Structure 1
């Protein structure tokens, strides 16, 4: 007797190669439009599916999980971060949660370096001059930026991505410093040539660039708050490719507008797509639409991890990328 295929609901459009493979393996319901599901659509999905494949744009909270049907046994998140999912409630209801870690490390680290260079070398300002047709020729004093070689980089959160950024920054001649919940092993510190700071306050006060790479948790909410941002040197730059909630966006905007911080490069925002309008108006701020992980290779590898997690679960084993509350 042929075993009935798992019912899988995917909440967003995924790369064609990923959708094709999902369709081959499972009884999959794909999304027609590239828009987030409404709350009502998510309710229907959790009531009918064996496996839900959400993305970071979907809020899988306790209220939604309370309406889940008996068949829902796995939430295979298409993304490394799981702060969009109430993992503890899912576990209480016997629903496993998996993610896609490690896949986007290099892509996000590359984008971090791009933002550091874009802000310090004033690339968007130069691009704007060219697009407006205002360029009248080379000038010794036009659009002077700063050299990143020799600058101090303070990495806030030295996990996979933080370490990948440290390696790239070192190749550019930057001095690497970091603050982390736990100090790295001596051999890793030595390899990265990274200096550990137990005090975040002391580190940020001495850095030229602060790069944020920590997850969104209650303990990291507004970790870079108004008080801490005021410790930065007026020549310092802030870059964030992790989670917007880690920085007090309004305080950051005020500091940059007043000239107390030299600039910022942001790929994530405290309130999602609702970006502080004053932040948009600042020429020394580079804003990107959550592009840090946006490579075709990375998106396909994410999909491959989702498929492996579902297939392993279907075969009666623990998904290799299972997430449990103690990991958060």
Structure 2
């Protein structure tokens, strides 16, 4: 079955990294899309040349709402489709401008090569007839790996001890020994998706027990066969675990899920890891809890922040009881290649669902 060669104009806000970008763009072109590629985040000069030799290119800040909207309008031409991998601000205002009747090409499809879409206004997209596609689970293994690494760093103080040795202080490097470990610990997972499940499998291999707390949909029946013990409430999990790791999406229900009240429930000497979204664990509450013994966990490891990128700022930045990671949990080569393959498949599925084959509608 051959796809139409006229699916429409496609704005690629940020393509896949490295050579995968060329494969991704070729595959999208093969589906009949006409890519225009934003090269702002393409740092390899040779790759930029390869892209420019085959496709139209632009250079703009995809994280700027105004620049994104202007580019989607493209002087009145517009685009039928948009592809990204980062959390661009696809707000109601941007979507309204991208679907205006004044445009020659109206936005119909948005694909993000990542699990979340919390920076997208899904309600506005539905109202305006824009399909949203993502790739849940594509980076679950990668996120689980970094989650495990952050747990071990928090428990064993790996990065702190390395820094002490670089500064020539054997005494500081060996302070607070012996340490905790995953062996014999109880690890609590907030969330029941693919990443949480993989974390459960990994920590069990280290000899940890696993407790898990999910949404009301995570019934005893659904928990059958899950690699961990289902607990009824978040409070029970926080009170009963040595390590707590958060794996839920950013939604209205999870906003502020863990704040000062919840942190106070955690055991003395416990560890909190957040590789989900910053909105789930309040940064100011976590910072305060870490600085005052008895008001929360002993240590935290955080990969997500309210303000990220070049303007990064966080109260946790100078907190000695927190390990920091620059939102890099899912950024392995294999995970990003898989996300790229899956988003191309989502674009292909969209074409099939809209019955566009061989250049005409069925």
Q: Same fold (TM over 0.5)?
A: yes
Show the counterpart of 1:321: none
Instruction: Give distance in 2, aligned partners of 1:316 and 1:179.
Output: 36
Q: Could you give the per-residue CA deviations for residues 32-74 of structure 1, whole angstroms, max 9, x where no partner exists?
A: 2217423233113333111111333311011111111352110
Show the counterpart of 2:266: 232
Instruction: Give distance in 1, aligned partners of 2:287 and 2:69.
Output: 37
- Distance change in 2, residues 1:187/1:222 (3 Å): closer
- Distance change in 2, residues 1:241/1:36 (3 Å): farther
- Distance change in 2, residues 1:152/1:36 (3 Å): farther
Show the counterpart of 1:32: 39
Q: Select the residue among 117, 124, 138 that pairs with 1:103.
A: 138
Q: Which has the higher mean CA deviation after the structures are superposed, 198-207 or 265-274?
A: 265-274
Aligned-pair distance for 1:143?
4.8
Instruction: Give distance in 2, aligned partners of 1:247 and 1:187.
Output: 26
Show the counterpart of 1:309: 346
- Distance change in 2, residues 1:150/1:61 (3 Å): same
User: Are the equivalent residues in 2 in contact too, given 1:6–1:314 (CA < 8 A)?
Assistant: no
User: Are the equivalent residues in 2 in contact too, given 1:80–1:100 (CA < 8 A)?
Assistant: yes
Show the counterpart of 2:91: 61
User: Are the equivalent residues in 1 in contact too, given 2:16–2:24 (CA < 8 A)?
Assistant: no
Show the counterpart of 1:4: 6
> Residue 97 of structure 2: SS of its match in structure 1?
coil
Unaligned stretches of 5+ residues in structure 2: 42-59, 100-104, 356-362
User: Are the equivalent residues in 2 in contact too, given 1:179–1:198 (CA < 8 A)?
Assistant: yes
Q: Select the residue among 165, 170, 175 that pairs with 2:209.
A: 175
Q: Which has the higher mean CA deviation after the structures are superposed, 116-125 or 275-284?
A: 275-284
Q: Does 1:17 align with 2:24?
A: no
> Residue 170 of structure 2: SS of its match in structure 1?
coil
Q: Could you give the per-residue CA deviations for residues 121-173 of structure 1, whole angstroms, max 9, x where no partner exists?
A: 0011111023323337996x665421221111111011111111111111111
TM-score by length of 2: 0.80
User: Are the equivalent residues in 1 in contact too, given 2:213–2:232 (CA < 8 A)?
Assistant: yes
TM-score by length of 1: 0.88
Aligned-pair distance for 1:289?
0.3
Instruction: Give distance in 1, aligned partners of 2:354 and 2:339.
Output: 20
Instruction: Give distance in 2, aligned partners of 1:285 and 1:84.
Output: 26
Aligned length: 315
Show the counterpart of 1:46: 72
> Residue 246 of structure 1: SS of its match in structure 2?
coil
